């Protein structure tokens, strides 16, 4: 028990020790002499910096020693030391400490040192600790025979073992460890310097290094080697990537990644990043010499940037170039086969949006020509929302510009593609669309709406024998809509049934222009009640038609909901605007049936189908997703009839599947595939296995791309990467999706 008298007088035996450095104070404080000295011969400023000692028993001896015993605690600034016995020698100004000793340094990421015995200076910043163990940022453990501290900055550990793995008494061998003759830690530079280092896995020595430098766990940004990765492919063989990170200041960095493989590739990858007050830029690329294209320099460059401009504008820049069509797939960079480079500008306010996009697309898709396709293009759009007080409702004004150019000078369709489009057609179109909509609530809960729209286009076409010339056209459209929602509540569920009828009219004499942006049409619940189902402005829906639909939704108090939407479009006459297979051709469109299911457990299921009166399906899209604590799944199935107009010469039937499963003990597996039922083969497949715990992450992956063309061949890719926790700011918890596990010691 603590001494009661000392606890009462000194607040649990608290005693202030004079600091080693003295400072003069200009003013006299209460309880001080004329020079500002407090009792004991040191100033008030010094007293504020003094160390505080708490103990069960404190004794002073005749030889200027102070001995504290039993639950001893010493505080200096934010340092805290606990021990069994502390002896302070006023003559040498040193602390002799008997353990068990625990020293906690300042900050949330500070170190914790545990030792058997120590001799430290009065401010705990210098000295020697014997039989010590140091824990940095609760991640990296360093066990040493001896720890020397100098100036509170340099810590030197002798005969040391470093690891971030949990070490149990029943199994004292960690999964990995670094044994070194000496490790020096500099708290200012936050680096660990190893001398005579030996890297071991499960006690087996693998690598010997005379010198090694690594960041401590508190570092989030420092020059040095990053996690290496092993990759082997059927075209390049086994290879190793060794990225090196170079910090170019607080807002810029460069990563250099050499890549060497057994089947001869010499690749140097670069990534540069910089942040500004108004935006960021990022550039990455690589230069290669390999055995795939012998004697050729191969590579790519991707760059992008985003900047905030005055008046709430945002500027975007993008550059994507590659030397040959197969490079990106050979090196596993991306599966993109159309590379766009250009500039974007946008401004979004509550009632106004300005958007611009201009640039060039470079295609590396097999069978696609960069000279006969409209690769150079630009778009501009200005949209304004107005709520007129005189007539009520809401009006929208949209003005847009679109231009594209083909590099070919031909005025007819060449024999190479035979797509009936002039190989050199260039187009410029300016469009103006103004629409107005207002709703009324009628008796019986019926919602009525009136909508009107006026669309005008000015189109200029060049280098096309069929469509060349200038065209001015306008199309007015009016429509009325009735909705009658029925709401019923029974027990814990609420149901909503809503029939919808919309009558739309527009004249059928609109001048036709070259159609380039509205060849692919979609018919779904999102545009069932739209004036036009075309995605662009080259084509606009015409004639007298009725958009009919019925929706039903059920919301349950337990958290799940189910919804169904059905509808179709009925026309007075067949305008022959939409191609067969789109679901919109003929006087009566296909039936649209869309369903969705959502549960509180994370399951989402949706299906959208188009079928005729005989239940012949022209399109069907099924999506399934589930995100659980232990496993996740995302699946999709797509069916589309062949359509020559939309560029599908055969039926499309594909399955996409991605799964992830978290096992016990930190193991996680993934599987993904895309299977083409029409071709009766998989387009790609991949499996992966990951192990993560408190001290390391091992990621193993295997993938196969089955597709082939004149430029790329089927390829198998195998990857392996290992990350050790405890060095730098990245930990296993930040590199995995919550699948890491901390091993538990069992006795």
For 588-644, the pLDDT digits (tens) are 999 999 999 999 999 999 999 999 999 999 999 999 999 988 899 999 999 998 887
pLDDT at 653: 93
Measured between alpha carbons, how far is 217 from 135 in angstroms, rounded to an integer?
10
Q: How confident is the model at residue 43 (pLDDT cuts 50, 70, 90)?
A: very low
Instruction: Report the CATH number at residue 117.
Output: 2.60.450.10
Nearest to 488 by CA among 565, 552, 581: 552
- Residue 177 and residue 111 in one domain: yes
- Residue 28 and residue 95 in one domain: yes
In a domain, 467, yes or no: no
Strand partners, 129: 118, 147
The two three-digit tokens of residue 504, written as one number: 């739309």
Lowest mean pLDDT among 105-119, 202-216, 498-512, 684-698: 105-119
Q: How confident is the model at residue 747 (pLDDT cuts 50, 70, 90)?
A: very low
Measured between alpha carbons, how far is 731 from 725 in angstroms, rounded to an integer?
5
Q: Which residues of 44-57 are buried (b: 16+ CB within 10 A; e: fewer)?
A: bbbbebbbebbbbe
User: How distant, in Å, are the alpha carbons of 28, 98, 126, 559 from that of 610?
Assistant: 91, 82, 79, 29
| Secondary structure class of 436 (helix, strand, coil) | strand
- Residue 159 and residue 35 in one domain: yes
Q: What stretches of 60-177 show up as alpha helix (H) in DSSP?
A: none
- Choose between 129 and 419: higher pLDDT: 129
Residue 695 has pLDDT above 90, yes or no: no
- Residue 203 and residue 267 in one domain: no
pLDDT at 418: 62
pLDDT 10s digits, 200-229: 988 899 989 899 888 888 888 888 888 889
Measured between alpha carbons, how far is 744 from 747 in angstroms, rounded to an integer?
10
Q: How confident is the model at residue 735 (pLDDT cuts 50, 70, 90)?
A: very low
Measured between alpha carbons, how far is 518 from 189 in angstroms, rounded to an integer?
60
Proportion of the chain above pLDDT 70, given as a percent: 89
Q: How confident is the model at residue 730 (pLDDT cuts 50, 70, 90)?
A: low
Q: How confident is the model at residue 151 (pLDDT cuts 50, 70, 90)?
A: confident
- Residue 192 and residue 107 in one domain: yes
pLDDT at 415: 66
- Residue 200 and residue 266 in one domain: no
Q: How confident is the model at residue 729 (pLDDT cuts 50, 70, 90)?
A: low
Task: Tell me which of 317, 334, 351 is where a domain ends.
Answer: 334
- Residue 246 and residue 132 in one domain: no
Residue 142 has pLDDT above 60, yes or no: yes
Residue 304 has pLDDT above 90, yes or no: yes
Q: Is the entire prediction scored with pTM above 0.85?
A: no
Measured between alpha carbons, how far is 539 from 578 in angstroms, rounded to an integer?
10
Most confident option among 50-64, 189-203, 428-442? 428-442
The two three-digit tokens of residue 399, written as one number: 């003005």
- Residue 110 and residue 145 in one domain: yes
Q: How confident is the model at residue 9 (pLDDT cuts 50, 70, 90)?
A: very low
Mean pLDDT of the chain: 86
Residue 743 has pLDDT above 70, yes or no: no
In a domain, 363, yes or no: no
Q: Would you say 719 and 699 are in contact if contact means Cβ atoms under 8 Å apart?
A: yes
pLDDT at 737: 43
Q: How confident is the model at residue 745 (pLDDT cuts 50, 70, 90)?
A: low
pLDDT at 165: 86
Rounded to an integer, the average pLDDT of 71-96 is 87
- Residue 102 and residue 234 in one domain: no
pLDDT at 742: 63
Rounded to an integer, the average pLDDT of 295-308 is 96
SS (H, E, C) 258-274: EEEECCCEEEEEEEEEE
Residue 20 has pLDDT above 60, yes or no: no
Rounded to an integer, the average pLDDT of 360-388 is 93
Task: Tell me which of 286, 304, 334 is where a domain ends.
Answer: 334
Nearest to 311 by CA among 347, 338, 353: 347
In a domain, 36, yes or no: yes
- For residue 56, give the DSSP letter: S
Task: Tell me which of 302, 334, 366 is where a domain ends.
Answer: 334
Reported for 187-190, long-range contacts at CB under 8 A and 24+ positions apart, including other chains, are 187/152, 187/153, 187/154, 187/155, 188/153, 190/215, 190/216, 190/218, 190/219, 190/222
Most confident option among 38-52, 90-104, 122-136, 487-501? 487-501
In a domain, 704, yes or no: no
In a domain, 717, yes or no: no
Lowest mean pLDDT among 134-138, 230-234, 695-699: 134-138
Residue 295 has pLDDT above 90, yes or no: no
Q: How confident is the model at residue 736 (pLDDT cuts 50, 70, 90)?
A: very low
pLDDT at 109: 54
In a domain, 21, yes or no: yes
- Residue 210 and residue 234 in one domain: no
Count of domains in the chain?
2
Rounded to an integer, the average pLDDT of 443-467 is 95
Residue 252 has pLDDT above 90, yes or no: yes
Torsion angle (degrees, nearest 10) of CA 37, 41, 45, 50: -150
- Residue 264 and residue 231 in one domain: yes
- Residue 211 and residue 229 in one domain: no
pLDDT at 12: 32
| Number of Cβ within a 10 Å radius of residue 187 | 16
Q: Would you say 274 and 264 are in contact if contact means Cβ atoms under 8 Å apart?
A: no
Rounded to an integer, the average pLDDT of 499-515 is 95
Lowest mean pLDDT among 44-48, 233-237, 355-359, 565-569: 44-48
Rounded to an integer, the average pLDDT of 427-432 is 97
In a domain, 711, yes or no: no
In a domain, 242, yes or no: yes
Residue 49 has pLDDT above 70, yes or no: no
- For residue 559, give the DSSP letter: S
Domain residues for 38?
A: 4-215
């Amino acid at each position: 028990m603590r001494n009661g008298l000392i606890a009462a007088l000194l607040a649990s035996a608290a005693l202030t020790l004079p600091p080693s450095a003295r400072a003069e104070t200009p003013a006299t404080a209460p309880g001080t002499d004329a020079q500002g000295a407090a009792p004991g011969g040191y100033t008030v400023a010094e007293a504020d910096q003094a160390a505080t000692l708490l103990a069960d028993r404190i004794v002073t001896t005749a030889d200027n020693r102070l001995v504290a015993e039993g639950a001893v605690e010493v505080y200096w600034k934010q340092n805290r030391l606990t021990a069994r016995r502390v002896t302070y020698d006023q003559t040498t100004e040193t602390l002799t400490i008997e353990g068990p000793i625990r020293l906690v340094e300042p900050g949330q990421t500070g170190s914790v040192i545990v030792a058997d015995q120590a001799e430290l200076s009065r401010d705990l910043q210098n000295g020697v600790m014997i039989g010590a163990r140091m824990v940095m940022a609760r991640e990296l453990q360093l066990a040493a025979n001896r720890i020397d501290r100098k100036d509170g900055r340099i810590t030197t550990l002798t005969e040391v073992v470093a690891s971030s793995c949990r070490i149990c008494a029943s199994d004292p061998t960690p999964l990995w460890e670094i044994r070194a003759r000496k490790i020096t830690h500099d708290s200012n530079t936050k680096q660990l310097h190893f001398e005579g280092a030996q890297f071991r896995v499960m006690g087996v020595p693998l690598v010997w290094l005379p010198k090694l430098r690594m960041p401590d766990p508190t570092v989030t940004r420092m020059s040095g080697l990053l996690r290496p990765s092993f990759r082997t492919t059927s075209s390049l063989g086994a290879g190793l990537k060794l990225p090196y990170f170079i910090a170019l200041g607080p807002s810029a960095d460069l990563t250099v990644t050499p890549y060497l493989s057994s089947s001869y590739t010499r690749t140097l990858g670069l990534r540069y990043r910089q942040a500004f007050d108004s935006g960021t830029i990022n550039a990455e690329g690589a230069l290669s010499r390999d055995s795939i294209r012998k004697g050729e320099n191969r590579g790519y460059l991707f760059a992008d940037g985003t900047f905030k401009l005055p008046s709430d504008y945002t500027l975007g820049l993008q550059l994507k170039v590659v030397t040959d069509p197969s490079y990106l797939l050979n090196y596993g960079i991306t599966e993109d086969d159309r590379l766009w480079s250009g500039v974007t500008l946008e401004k979004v306010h509550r009632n106004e949006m300005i958007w611009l996009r201009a640039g060039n697309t470079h295609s590396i898709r097999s069978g696609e020509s960069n000279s006969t396709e409209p690769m150079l293009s630009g778009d501009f759009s200005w949209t304004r929302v107005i709520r007129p007080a005189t007539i009520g409702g809401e009006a929208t004004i949209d003005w847009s510009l679109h231009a594209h150019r083909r590099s070919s000078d031909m005025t007819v369709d060449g024999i190479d593609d035979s797509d009936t489009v002039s190989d050199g057609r260039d187009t410029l179109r300016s469009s103006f669309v103004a629409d107005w909509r207002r709703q009324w609530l009628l008796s019986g809960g019926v919602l009525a709406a009136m909508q009107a729209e006026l669309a005008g286009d000015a189109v200029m076409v060049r280098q096309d024998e069929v469509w060349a010339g200038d065209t001015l056209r306008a199309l007015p459209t009016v429509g009325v809509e009735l909705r009658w929602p029925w709401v019923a509540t029974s027990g814990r569920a609420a149901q909503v049934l809503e029939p919808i009828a919309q009558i739309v009219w527009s004249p059928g004499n609109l001048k036709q222009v070259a159609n380039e942006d509205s060849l692919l049409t979609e018919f779904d619940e999102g545009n069932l009640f739209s004036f036009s189902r075309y995605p662009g402005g080259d084509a606009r829906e015409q004639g007298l038609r009725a958009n009919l639909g019925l929706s039903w939704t059920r919301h349950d108090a337990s958290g799940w909901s189910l919804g169904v939407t059905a509808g179709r479009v009925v026309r007075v006459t067949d305008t022959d605007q939409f191609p067969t297979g789109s679901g919109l051709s003929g006087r009566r469109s296909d039936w649209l049936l869309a369903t969705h299911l959502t549960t509180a457990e994370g399951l989402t299921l949706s299906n959208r189908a188009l079928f005729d009166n005989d239940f012949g399906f022209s399109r069907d899209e099924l999506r399934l997703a589930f995100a659980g604590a232990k496993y996740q799944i995302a699946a999709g199935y797509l069916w589309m009839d062949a359509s020559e107009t939309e560029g599908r010469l055969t039926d499309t039937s594909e399955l996409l599947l991605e799964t992830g499963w978290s096992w016990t003990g930190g193991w996680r597996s993934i599987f993904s595939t895309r299977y083409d039922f029409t071709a009766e083969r998989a387009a790609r497949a991949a499996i992966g296995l990951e192990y993560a715990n408190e001290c390391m992450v091992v990621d193993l992956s295997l993938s196969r791309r089955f597709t082939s063309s004149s430029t790329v061949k089927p390829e198998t890719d195998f990857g392996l990467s290992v990350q050790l926790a405890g060095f730098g700011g990245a930990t296993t918890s930040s590199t995995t999706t919550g699948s890491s596990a901390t091993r538990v010691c069992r006795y």
